[in-house]
Chain A
Amino acid sequence: MNILKFFTAGSVDDGKSTLIGRLLYDTDSILADQLEALQQSNRKNDDGTIDLAILTDGLRAEREQGITIDVAYKYFQTDKRKFIIADTPGHIQYTRNMVTGASTAKLAIILIDARNGVVEQTIRHSYLVSLLGIEHVVVCLNKMDMVGYSETVFTAITDKYKTLAAQLNLKDVNFIPVSALKGDNVVNESENMAWYHGRSLLHFLETVDVETGAESDLARMPVQWVVRPQTDELHDYRGYAGRILSGEFNVNDKVTVLPSGSSSVIERIEIFDQQPATAFAGQSVTLHLKDNIDISRGDVLVNSDHLPQNSKLIEADVCWMDARPLDDSITYLLQHNSKITKCKISEIVYKVDINTLEKQEAHDFKLNDIGRIVLKTADELAFDLYTDNKANGAAILIDSRTNLTAAALMFRAIAD
């Protein structure tokens, strides 16, 4: 059994929390005492049934305002798979929280209110999905019960969305007509839409292929920690501990250490008391090399035949996440996996109006702004382009005055 992480984009008005509540409720994932707490709550639907949306509102301020402010993580499982839902807010002022929830997801659920069709918010959410390179998209046309379960409505909206998806270069886009309130096509297949022959949302989530492998040549492992027991019997033990970002490492593979550029051969792979011949993306391992070379935290081990990009000038897409706007006069810290280096913003290339997707000339960057910048780093970074290898193509900016995470970065090119 494996795990699928997905996130939901939409607002409470689209029925996002109700959809998640429905998924949990109809898969029997809500326990009796939680249900009891729900029933005692003052918030009810108009017809007196339980308001499933309350299940996802964790903070007092969210319950008070009836909105989602921060990402909440929810867990459920079926016989087929385990699921982690990042329930992200849909309002534009919480764009950064949606980006946070989406950054670790393999699949995005985009909610459209069937009465309204593709609206400004749909464009914004779909743009973020495209920016973050989410592998699978499920567009749920919700509130089908309020448009008479009409196929004509469904087709008109999906046609319009397909144009947008093509423009944004979205991969693997799927459409499901649902009613989260009534339960149609969420877990159980609907009896009200005989014209729809596809899977229910849950059935889709259980069967979508989420294994990775596309970047198998790009073996990358940032060194997090050097294991050196320095005891009498393990005097020469020197293991490089880290989690493999992408690709695979085999015993006897030639590897290069960056940024130093020195190389060696893998002598042994350890996963605690196991010594496998191969280790691959997602595993936390300890690697031993044949040669004794200087390696410390922040270095990255890579397959010598497929070296990453190496540069101090990088063009990146950026989502600004801090209340303090971008300041090109100060030095930020850039954290790329286990590596931290000083960095300045040398150019703002453009800003994107995320409601219209227009690129605009810009001189400032504020909270939730998205666009393209050029970074100049103190140390050379060994990175891949985000489109080639997400795991080694992303970084964060830290404001060294406040230590807050100021921005999310996706590397797009080496700058001139």
Chain B
Amino acid sequence: MSKYNLDYLDELEAEAIHILREVAGQFEKPALLFSGGKDSITLVRLAEKAFRPGKFPFPLVHIDTGHNFEETITYRDEMVQRLGEKLIVGSVQESIDQGKVVEQTGKNASRNALQTVTLLDTIALHGFDACIGGARRDEEKARAKERIFSVRDEFGQWDPKRQRPELWNIYNGRIHKGENVRVFPISNWTELDVWNYIKRENISLPSIYFAHYRDVITRNGQLMAASPFLNMDEEDVVEHKKVRFRTVGDMSCTAAVESDADQIDIIIEEISASKISERGARMDDKVSEAAMEDRKKGGYF
């Protein structure tokens, strides 16, 4: 009798492809939320594996805070061109201009929290019934509890006490009108798995993931990229340092780490040896023990 042994990356990949095809089969108007970060870039690669030589059965949707790293936007546009797939951009600046949200003030102001409103408006405008995202359970303890198919009510809210049981590999994506489902195909991947997969698949990434020289300031013990989006005052000392980013979000909430890792092998080595978690560089998680749980209940990614 033959034995079937799948290497861990093959198993994670096969599971993610299965989930993406379930989205295609079960929903009328799905979308893939693309942030320009390595996790959503991995999702795009998995979508190619799930649907090529056919077209993606969903557009890519980018919620643009207007405070992006320039490198991310360049990467995004080149990628969309190469794929020949549709890109929809939801703009936080527009939400601000329309008066739907108010820009935060003060030294630590960020547009991170404002994204939720733009996201929910974009979902409503296009009538998306499923949104695929690159969140992973190893990132954060509220995420560790979330299902792969995670139902949101019409206000986009996650209710951790009313999660549907998710059995075997059977995903129940049935919803009422107005509700939508957030789908997380790489739930079971760790940060290291993503990096090893990017290496194996030879996937290109925005340059900010690799070590480079940049002007930074130290804020609350974290290195922040100096930019017009950061409210700086005379107390802030700008330094020129060799850094890279482990996670890529809004410029005002993503911190850099000092690093010489300018190649993927060195990054993987660095992460394997690291004693700080990836979201340790996210200011948005430092607010309280339940920061992520509360944002998810409010409709966040």
Cβ-defined contact, A335 with B172, below 8 A: yes
A220 to chain B, nearest CB (A): 13
B224 to chain A, nearest CB (A): 17
Task: State which of B4, B14, B25, B166 has its C-beta within 8 Å of the C-beta of A297.
Answer: B25
Report the contact-size class of chain B (Cβ under 8 Å from the partner): 35 or more
B56 to chain A, nearest CB (A): 11
Inter-chain contacts of B175 with A (CB < 8 A): 403
Bound form: Cα–Cα A309–B164 in Å: 29
Q: Which of A120-128, A152-160, A181-189, A240-248 lines the interface with chain B? A: A240-248
Q: Which of A172-180, A190-198, A261-269, A281-289 lines the interface with chain B? A: A281-289
Task: Answer whether A248 and B2 are a contact pair too, CB < 8 Å, given A224-B21, A229-B53, A243-B14.
Answer: yes
In the complex, whether B52 has a CB less than 8 A from a CB of chain A is yes
B107 to chain A, nearest CB (A): 22
Bound form: Cα–Cα A2–B14 in Å: 13
* Chain A 236-276 near chain B by CB (<8 Å), digits 1 or 0: 01000111000010000000000000000000000110000
Task: Answer whether A61 and B172 are a contact pair too, CB < 8 Å, given A227-B54, A405-B167.
Answer: no
Bound form: Cα–Cα A242–B19 in Å: 10
Bound form: Cα–Cα A289–B151 in Å: 36
Cβ-defined contact, B168 with A391, below 8 A: yes
In the complex, whether B293 has a CB less than 8 A from a CB of chain A is yes
CB nearest neighbor in A for B24: A225
Cβ-defined contact, B21 with A241, below 8 A: yes
Cβ-defined contact, A335 with B170, below 8 A: yes
Cβ-defined contact, B6 with A282, below 8 A: yes
Task: State which of B14, B174, B190 has its C-beta within 8 Å of the C-beta of A398.
Answer: B174
Task: State which of B7, B52, B145, B276 has its C-beta within 8 Å of the C-beta of A72.
Answer: B145
In the complex, whether A293 has a CB less than 8 A from a CB of chain B is no
Bound form: Cα–Cα A96–B145 in Å: 15
Task: Answer whether A280 and B18 are a contact pair too, CB < 8 Å, given A72-B144, A234-B53.
Answer: no
B83 to chain A, nearest CB (A): 14
* Chain B 122-151 near chain A by CB (<8 Å), digits 1 or 0: 000000000000000110011011000000
CB nearest neighbor in B for A282: B6
Near A by CB (< 8 A), chain B positions 1-49 give 1-8, 10-15, 17-18, 21-22, 24-25, 48-49
A242 to chain B, nearest CB (A): 7
B275 to chain A, nearest CB (A): 4
Cβ-defined contact, A58 with B7, below 8 A: no
Bound form: Cα–Cα A336–B167 in Å: 11
Cβ-defined contact, A243 with B18, below 8 A: yes
Bound form: Cα–Cα A99–B138 in Å: 22
* Chain B 178-198 near chain A by CB (<8 Å), digits 1 or 0: 000000000110101000000
Inter-chain contacts of A211 with B (CB < 8 A): 3-5
Task: State which of A77, A228, A403 has its C-beta within 8 Å of the C-beta of B54.
Answer: A228
Interface centre among A231, A338, A398 (most CB of B within 10 A): A338
Inter-chain contacts of B144 with A (CB < 8 A): 58, 72-74
B219 to chain A, nearest CB (A): 16
In the complex, whether A104 has a CB less than 8 A from a CB of chain B is yes
Q: Is the interface of B mostly helix, strand, loop or mixed?
A: loop
In the complex, whether A342 has a CB less than 8 A from a CB of chain B is no
Near B by CB (< 8 A), chain A positions 71-126 give 71-75, 77, 82, 84, 96-97, 99-100, 103-104
In the complex, whether A329 has a CB less than 8 A from a CB of chain B is no
Bound form: Cα–Cα A57–B66 in Å: 36
Inter-chain contacts of A57 with B (CB < 8 A): 141
Inter-chain contacts of A333 with B (CB < 8 A): 174
Task: State which of A213, A338, A391, A396 has its C-beta within 8 Å of the C-beta of B2.
Answer: A213
CB nearest neighbor in A for B175: A403
Cβ-defined contact, B168 with A103, below 8 A: yes
Cβ-defined contact, B18 with A284, below 8 A: yes
Bound form: Cα–Cα A333–B293 in Å: 32
Inter-chain contacts of A231 with B (CB < 8 A): 53
In the complex, whether B200 has a CB less than 8 A from a CB of chain A is no
Which 6 pairs between the two chains have the least Cβ-Cβ distance? Answer: A284-B17, A58-B141, A32-B275, A33-B280, A224-B21, A403-B174
**With A59-B142, A229-B55, A272-B52 already in contact, 6 other A-B pairs whose C-beta atoms are closer than 8 Å:** A58-B293, A100-B166, A227-B53, A241-B50, A271-B49, A297-B25
B-side residues, CB < 8 A to A, are: 1-8, 10-15, 17-18, 21-22, 24-25, 48-55, 57, 137-138, 141-142, 144-145, 160-161, 163-170, 172, 174-176, 187-188, 190, 192, 274-277, 280, 289-290, 293
